[in-house]
């Protein structure tokens, strides 16, 4: 499975055949179709990535105190430069206006999201060409999902809830107190974890520990659109170029020859990148 894939092979095969199974003879073909369709979806959405990643964005100053970031949902601003001058995060005090600095408009955590504002207080974005530099992270993510490592005798595995779509990437694990655990490729020891397809494995030494799990996900609407589009392309090879077929001289079946099936386009359109205000 390629890192850019928006659906899993097993899910596509289930969609194609249900519980009866489809065998493994076409696994390589279906896997290639998943990668191809995932790339087409990403291009159609106009978004380089759906899962969390870092961006360095140059923007034009507008002599105002608000700009909108291109990639969303934005999760965290790492740094902001205005005319090469570093701007700190705004200090927030209850019942008082923000202190000097920047403040990112919060994402509500629900897909599809929208471009978010980056405001500056007691300052402004001086007018200029590409004189604003923002480093930030963006992508669909569940942050700090609470879980408990099972008690002895194990196994010490935690499966994520993934309420908005399938798990796609790891974004870190901490204990309840905020101390970070270390991701490892093999069997974990104390203070370590291993993750495979959304199942987090811990050591016996951490049995019963409370943890906070963060991870990227593929929104369910996009995941389903990918599955259905791959299935459509897979079946298309038995009727290449056909728009209709008559069976036994009595029943006629019609097929769509559109570049993107209407049902797929309807699922994807709410997630297309929109021009920032």
- Exposed (0-12), middle (13-18) or buried (19+): which is 92, by Cβ within 10 Å? exposed
- Exposed (0-12), middle (13-18) or buried (19+): which is 43, by Cβ within 10 Å? exposed
145-176: pLDDT as tens digits: 999 999 989 899 999 999 999 999 999 999 99
Write down the pLDDT at residue 92: 85
76-133: pLDDT as tens digits: 999 999 999 999 999 888 877 788 899 999 999 999 999 999 999 999 999 999 999 9
67-85: pLDDT as tens digits: 999 999 999 999 999 999 9
Write down the pLDDT at residue 148: 96
Strand partners, 53: 138
What six digits make up the tokens of 254?
Answer: 């019609």
Query: Nearest CA to 5 among 249, 226, 231?
Result: 226
Residue 225 has pLDDT above 80, yes or no: yes
Enumerate residues 6+ apart whose C-beta is below 8 A from 142: 109, 160, 161, 162, 163, 164, 213, 214, 215, 217
Specify the DSSP class assigned to residue 105.
P
């Amino acid at each position: 499975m390629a890192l850019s894939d928006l659906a899993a092979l097993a899910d596509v095969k289930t969609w194609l055949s249900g519980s009866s199974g489809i065998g493994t003879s076409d696994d390589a073909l279906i896997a290639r179709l998943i990668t191809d369709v995932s790339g087409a979806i990403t291009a159609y959405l106009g978004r380089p990535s759906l899962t969390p990643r870092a961006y360095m964005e140059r923007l034009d100053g507008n002599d105002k105190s608000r700009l909108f970031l291109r990639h969303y949902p934005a999760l965290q601003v790492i740094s902001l430069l205005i005319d090469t001058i570093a701007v700190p995060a705004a200090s927030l005090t209850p019942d008082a206006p923000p202190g000097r600095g920047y403040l990112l408009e919060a994402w509500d955590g629900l897909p599809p999201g929208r471009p978010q504002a980056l405001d500056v207080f007691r300052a402004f974005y001086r007018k200029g060409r590409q004189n604003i530099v923002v480093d930030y992270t963006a992508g669909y993510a569940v942050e700090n999902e609470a879980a408990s490592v099972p008690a002895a005798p194990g196994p010490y595995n935690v499966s994520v809830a993934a309420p908005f779509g399938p798990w796609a990437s790891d974004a870190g694990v901490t204990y309840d107190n905020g101390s970070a655990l270390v991701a490892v490729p093999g069997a974990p020891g104390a203070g370590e974890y291993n993750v495979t397809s959304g199942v987090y494995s811990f050591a016996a030494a951490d049995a019963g520990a409370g943890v906070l799990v963060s991870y990227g996900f593929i929104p369910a609407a996009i995941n389903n659109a990918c599955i259905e589009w791959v299935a459509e392309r897979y079946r298309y090879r038995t009727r290449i170029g056909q728009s209709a077929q008559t069976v036994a001289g009595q029943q006629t079946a019609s097929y769509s020859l559109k570049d993107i099936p209407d049902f797929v386009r309807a699922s994807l359109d709410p997630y297309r990148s929109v021009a920032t205000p």
